[in-house]
Amino acid sequence: MQNEPSHAIGMSASGPARRTVLIAAALLLSACGTSPHRGGRATAPAYSRLTPEQSNDIAIHAMGLVGTPYRYGGNTPEGGFDCSGLIGYVYRSLAGVAPPRTVAQLSDFGASVPAGDERTGDLVIFGSGRPTHAGIVVEGGRFVHAPSTGGTVRLDRFSSGYWSRQAIAFRRP
């Protein structure tokens, strides 16, 4: 009975044998990842896995949060939002996507979208070199964002005052 074979791989193994099975499984799973295409012909950007309906729902939900108080580090309607908290809350709620928590991380999240090709639900990232702020594109050259302490989530135009003078990049998660 001591030497009965196990019918489930790794289930009765202990110590080094179990570690070996776990490491092999981890290596096998990590091999499933992909790396970006380097060289060769340019391919069409794979912008998003979100449907146009999801993108519209994201924008509508974001507009529904206009008026929610700003709070640094905030990520709920009850507690308030900062800009990345607003984005995270909306995307998690409507698309099941968990964006990164900082603006710097958001600036690399998803695919880059050329200005003019942005659509409802895309992210807008402000700042050159070091990103400083982010929001959600709605429509008609407008975006929803949580701007600053003492303010509330609001709807602004890319072409208005302060925002028209900022470097802008668009991302499609």
The C-alpha atoms of residue 14 and residue 20 are separated, in whole angstroms, by 10
- Does 101 have pLDDT greater than 50? yes
The C-alpha atoms of residue 104 and residue 131 are separated, in whole angstroms, by 6
Q: Kindly state the average pLDDT of the residues 45-70.
A: 88
> What is the pLDDT at residue 29?
31
> What is the pLDDT at residue 15?
56
- As a dihedral over the C-alpha atoms of residue 105, residue 106, residue 107, residue 109, rounded to 10 degrees, the angle is 100
Nearest to 136 by CA among 173, 97, 98: 173
> What is the pLDDT at residue 16?
54
Q: Kindly state the average pLDDT of the residues 3-16.
A: 44
Look up the pTM and report it.
Answer: 0.72
CB neighbours (10 Å) of residue 109?
17
Q: Is the dihedral of CA 40, 128, 157, 86 positive or negative?
A: positive
> What is the pLDDT at residue 157?
97
Residue pLDDT, tens place only, 128-138: 889 999 999 99
From 7, 32, 37, 83, active-site residue: 83
Residue pLDDT, tens place only, 146-157: 999 899 999 999
Q: Which amino acid is at 144?
A: V
Percent of the chain at pLDDT exceeding 90: 68
Task: Give 3's pLDDT tier (boundaries 50, 70, 90).
Answer: very low
The length of the chain in residues reads 173
- Does 50 have pLDDT greater than 50? yes
Contact assessment for residue 128 and residue 110, using Cβ atoms and an 8 Å cutoff: no
- Any catalytic annotation for residue 145? yes
Q: Which of 7-11, 58-62, 84-88, 106-110 has the lowest mean pLDDT?
A: 7-11
Q: Kindly state the average pLDDT of the residues 5-9.
A: 40
Residue 167: C-alpha distances to residues 46, 99, 116, 127 (Å): 24, 21, 14, 5
CATH code of the domain made up of 52-172 = 3.90.1720.10
From 7, 37, 61, 133, active-site residue: 133
